[in-house]
Amino acid sequence: MRPLEGIKVITFEHAIAAPFCTRQLADLGARVIKVERPGTGDFARNYDERVHGLASHFVWTNRSKESITLDVKRPEAMEVVHGLLADADVFVQNLAPGASQRLGLDYETLQTHYPKLVVCDISGYGLDGPYRDKKAYDLLIQSESGFLSITGSANEPAKAGCSIADIAAGMYAYTNILAALIERGKTGRGRRIDVSMLESMLEWMSYPLYYAIDGQTPPPRTGASHATIYPYGPFRAGDGKTVMLGLQNEREWKSFCEVVIQKSELAADPRFCSNSRRVEKRAELGHLIEEVFSILTSSQVIERLEDARIANAHMNDMHAVWTHEQLVARNRWTRVSTPAGEIPALYPPGVTQEDAPRMDPVPALGEHTHAILSELGYAEDRIQALRDIGAV
């Protein structure tokens, strides 16, 4: 039995944050019914066509779900929504600010009809406050949260290469829903969950926030290098390839000097004898390290780092990650179906093949509309009537 078997989730979702949350609920066995706009659906379906004609974001965040199309501006469609909510356990939405209230799908309204329902609202800035109605996209939250101020090079900020603010909000929504289901098992009552992208990112930004507490200088932008630990980051080898490495303590610094750069005298050099001093002298120390690495291949550098038990990594591109030997050795890949054929998919972190996570197809738009309506007791003629008026 999967952990969330028997749990029913209704979701009004688009883009990344809410779909990522609910896909993880589906991974654990929940039944997730995704309500989409007729004709167009979740706009993330059209971000790109990279996965056999389907959008990369969409296939990532929407497997194992059922798709029903409903025009919720029509009362006939809202009747269907309430039919779905009648025995639902969780309702998730990340509609535009104020939309759920206008539809009567806010927590205050829903709790009067469905007291056991867990209602999770995901938004950019939260359900109240002066920023409540402000539009929020991933890059904008990266900026508001201060993330861009510490990410990039000294001369130019850089965004994260994936939707980090959406992912953060989706993760906190997911974990809070799990906690609310446990709580409901004890109290018999649902609850409201109000997750904002800004607060989710702020939690992840706590180290640089504390580093700059009381007006102290914030961490500088240092590219792929660590802002406050050195050496920690990318170094180019003689073959032109980049090796990532990281030191954490003075024992490792001594080993690095003796085994990796083979300059044991530097271990006690007063310029570099503490992390703070190495950070202060990073340009000078970096030049010394690169001089040594310039006559070695990246493989030789990594071999020395391994011998010294210094943490290191290859700087892989996407093509290398698809064939990463560690993922292959651990059997972390499977395949899932989509409307455009099978695609590879990573098993959810923390679970194995033996756990039998749900790895069901990515749904076509409205693929399950007829089946869900039939399940709710709608006869064929009534379903056709809904289609005729554009309600589904």
Domain 8-204+328-388 has CATH 3.30.1050.10: no
Residue 351 is predicted with a pLDDT of 84
- In this prediction, residue 1 carries a pLDDT of 86
Span between the terminal Cα atoms of the chain, in Å:
33
Domain positions in the chain: 8-204+328-388, 232-315
- pLDDT value of position 352: 81
The pTM assigned to this predicted structure is 0.92
pLDDT digits (tens, 9 = 90+) for 135-179: 999 999 999 999 999 999 999 999 999 999 999 999 999 999 999
Supply the pLDDT for residue 355.
84
pLDDT at 208: 95
User: Looking at the domain 232-315, which fold is it?
Assistant: formyl-coa transferase, domain 3 (3.30.1540)
Q: Enumerate residue ranges in the chain where pLDDT < 70.
A: none
Q: Which of 148, 312, 302 is nearest to 232 (CA)?
A: 312
